[in-house]
Amino acid sequence: MSDKQVTVVLNQHRDYQFDIDVGGGVPLLRGDEPPPLGQGQGPSPVQLLAAAVGNCLSDSLLFALRKFKQSPEPIHCEVTAQIGRNAEQRLRVTALHAELRLGVPADALEHLERVLQSFEGYCTVTQSVAAAIPVTVKVFDAHGAELR
- The model's pLDDT over 6-30, given as tens digits with 9 standing for 90+, comes to 999 999 999 999 999 999 999 999 9
Task: Enumerate the H helices of the chain as residue ranges.
Answer: 45-67, 112-118, 124-130
Q: What is the CATH number of domain 45-140?
A: 3.30.300.20
Nearest to 38 by CA among 17, 8, 66, 61: 17
Greatest CA separation found in the chain? Answer: 51
Domain positions in the chain: 1-42, 45-140
Supply the pLDDT for residue 123.
96
Quote the Cα angle for 138-144-148, to 5°: 25
* pLDDT over threshold 70, residue 1: no
pLDDT of 3 reads 87
Give yes or no for residue 2 having a pLDDT over 90.
Answer: no
Q: pTM to 2 decimals? A: 0.93
Residue 74, preceding peptide bond in cis (omega within 30° of 0): yes
Residue 54 has pLDDT above 90, yes or no: yes
Instruction: Decide if 44 contacts 37 (C-beta within 8 A).
Output: no
**Average pLDDT for residues 102-128, to the nearest whole number?**
97
